[in-house]
Amino acid sequence: MDDSSVGAAVLIGVIAVLIIAAFITLWLRDKGRADEVATDPQRPQPDVATQTRAREAREEAADEPPVQKRERRH
């Protein structure tokens, strides 16, 4: 191999290592923030009962046409 090929291979290797290091750093930072939010005692818990339907209503909903909502513009 000549010098330009070795230099290109080293450059590609360094760039790959930098990309991997940046990914791991950002992933760990985001995971830390998510863990903080999950353990926050003042965070409101979603009310699951108001967001779900009964089983029969869910099964029948597949036969209904989708509800179309119009956006109001003034």
Confidence check: pLDDT of 4 > 70: yes
Confidence check: pLDDT of 23 > 60: yes
Is 37 in contact with 43 (CB distance < 8 Å)? yes
Is 8 part of any domain?
yes
**pLDDT at res. 62:** 66
Is 23 part of any domain?
yes
Confidence check: pLDDT of 24 > 70: yes
Domains held by the chain: number: 1
Domain that holds residue 9: 1-36
Confidence check: pLDDT of 11 > 80: yes
Confidence check: pLDDT of 63 > 80: no
Q: Between vectors from CA 25 to CA 30 and to CA 11, what angle results, nearest 5°?
A: 145
CA 19/CA 25 separation, integer angstroms? 10
Hey, is 60 helix, strand or coil?
A: helix
